Chains A and B, each alone.
Chain A
Amino acid sequence: MNIDFVLRNWNAWAPGISRHEDWRNWHEHQTFAQAEKAAIPITVPKILQRRLSPLARAVFNAADGCIDSDKSLPIVFSSAHGEVNKSLEMLKSMQKGEEVSPTAFSLSVHNAISGLFSIAYDYHQEITVIAPGQDGIAPAFVEALGLLQEHHSEVLIVLYDEPLSDFYPSLPFALNAPAICALALKVSLTGSGLPLRFCRTPAHRDDGEQALQILSFIKFLVADDKALVLGNHRHSWEWYKK
C-alpha cells in the first residue's frame, strides 16, 4: 500500500543547529555544538519555563516553528525513550533512601513533554504520544497519515530523543544518538510543499532506533536523495520524493 502526502513544512533543533541552512551545512560536516540548550519560545509562560528539560526545550523549539496561530492541528509526538534519564535519576535517589520528588515524577512519564506543551500553548487538539520501540519513526507516520484519512486537513508530527545515560547498556542495539534532536513535520494530503510517498518495503535492515532515524530523515530532507528506506529485521518503510 502506498500513501501519498505532502510535507508542508518542517523545523528541527539539535545543539548549534536550527535553521534549514544549518542543517544543510550539518549534512556536510555532521557535527553538533556541545551542550547548547534550545531557546524557549516566547509563548511559554514564565512559571512553566522552569519545568522544561533540555529535551523539552528542543521539542518546543522545533514544534513552535510549525504550529499555526489557530492551533488547529492534531499532534503526534514520538520518542523511543522520552525522559527515561529522569526516571533513572529518581531510581538512584530511591536507592539512597530519599523520597521521590513529585515534580520529577510528573515530568518523567512518557507524555510529560506533550502535557507541558498543551499547557504552555493552551493547546486543545488531539495529542498522541508514541513509544515506537525498535520500529523507529515509521509508527508516527502511520498514526499521522491515519489522522489525515480521518479528515484532519493537517497533522503535526514531532519526533524527539536524547542520548541515553551510559548506565543503560545499549549494545547490540543501535539506539543512541550523538545529541538531543527534535524534528517537527507538518503533513497534509494536499497543498503546496514536498510531495512524498510512504510505503512498506520487504527489505530486512538495521537502521537503528528512532534517535538515529530522525537524523537519517533530516539528511533525506536536505540532500538530493530521491528515496529513504528505514527498517529493522522485521519490516522496513520507504519515503520517496515524487
Chain B
Amino acid sequence: MENELKQLIIDTLDLEDISVDDIDSQAPLFNDGLGLDSIDALELGLAIRKKYDVKIDADKEDVVKIFSSVSTLAEYIQAARG
C-alpha cells in the first residue's frame, strides 16, 4: 500500500526525478520533507478520491495528521476503506 501510494504521489504531482525508494514513509510530505505545498495537497486529495474512493475532508481537524506522511496517509485510506 505504501509503495503504491508513493507511486501515486510521483505520478500525480509530476515528481519526475524522484523514485519510490527516495520517499521515506515516515518523513513529512509537505514543507520540510518532500517539499510539497497546498496545491499538491489538493491534487493528491483528488487523486486519492479517484483511485481509492476515499474522501479526505479539508475541514477535518485531523487533516494535517492524515497528510503528514505516506505512512499516516496509507493508514487512513486503509481504515476508511474498511
Contact = CB atoms under 8 A, between A and B. Distances in A.
Given A47-B35, A106-B39, A99 B15 contact: no
Contact of A99 (B16, B40, B50): B50
Nearest to B44: A102
B21 interface: no
Contacts of B35: 45, 47
Interface extent on A, as a size class?
Answer: under 10
A101 B10 CA distance: 15
A102 B43 contact: yes
Contact of A102 (B15, B36, B42, B50): B42
For the complex, would chain A's binding face be called helix, strand, loop or mixed by DSSP majority? helix
A101 B14 CA distance: 13
Interface extent on B, as a size class?
Answer: 10 to 19
A103 B43 contact: yes
Interface string A2-45: 00000000000000000000000000000000000000000001
B13 interface: yes
A94 B46 CA distance: 14
B17 interface: yes
A102 B14 contact: no
B15 A50 contact: yes
A46 B13 CA distance: 13
Interface string B1-45: 000000000000111110000000000000000011001101100
A99 B13 CA distance: 16
B11 to A, nearest CB: 12
A148 to B, nearest CB: 35
A41 to B, nearest CB: 18
Nearest to B15: A50
List the 5 shortest-distance A-B pairs measured between CB atoms, nearest first. A102-B42, A50-B14, A47-B35, A103-B43, A102-B43
Interface of B: 13-17, 35-36, 39-40, 42-43, 46, 50
Interface of A: 45-47, 50, 99, 101-103, 106
